[in-house]
Chains A and B, each alone.
Chain A
Amino acid sequence: DAGVIQSPRHEVTEMGQEVTLRCKPISGHDYLFWYRQTMMRGLELLIYFNNNVPIDDSGMPEDRFSAKMPNASFSTLKIQPSEPRDSAVYFCASSLDPRRQFFGPGTRLTVL
């Protein structure tokens, strides 16, 4: 199995632009998680899905952030409009058991 796949690996954009991060979970996993990692706050859970349904989005920082999971093999995290303080590494993880998550390589986002 290829593991959790995230794209792009690096994204540099200008303030105000829309950013879309993508994640392909491990086949058969029915949980999908989005995390953000910053120096100041460490790893934070943004949102997670079970069977494509958002279960808890309390970690989503603002309305500028949205996440979708249109099918079992694909999820997106969108930021519109982006701001410099959104610069971080965004991780996607998937699992069969939420206690044992498999992480993707992350997307490093830089908003200028």
Chain B
Amino acid sequence: AQSVTQLGSHVSVSEGALVLLRCNYSSSVPPYLFWYVQYPNQGLQLLLKYTTGATLVKGINGFEAEFKKSETSFHLTKPSAHMSDAAEYFCAVSGGNQFYFGTGTSLTVIP
């Protein structure tokens, strides 16, 4: 079985500060891991994904995430937050034929 836990339903950062959104997963099979972003009044957009190979994955808009098997984590980071990063972020794990989503983290960027 698979599951995802996102720590912190709301995260606030100052513009230019580091963004860190936490995601831990559990999976009985080698996981595929994903981060999605949802901007206000828009649908889901894939930010980045880990399948196999390099554990540090780079995505769009300067985001990256590192798969750490020993910690069962897939935290999302961005060195410098921009106002346009304000959105809802979802971590997801896939196994078998299904996706399992976290409950989401709402990111606020303070000017």
Contact = CB atoms under 8 A, between A and B. Distances in A.
A30 B98 CA distance: 14
Interface residues of B, number: 20
B104 A101 contact: no
B85 to A, nearest CB: 20
B44 interface: yes
A91 B104 CA distance: 15
Nearest to A101: B99
Interface in A29-65: 31, 33, 35, 41-45, 48, 50, 55-56
Nearest to B90: A43
Interface size class of A (residues with CB under 8 A): 20 to 34
Nearest to A43: B101
A99 interface: yes
Interface of B: 32, 36, 42-45, 49, 51, 90, 92, 94, 96-104
Interface of A: 31, 33, 35, 41-45, 48, 50, 55-56, 91, 98-101, 103-106
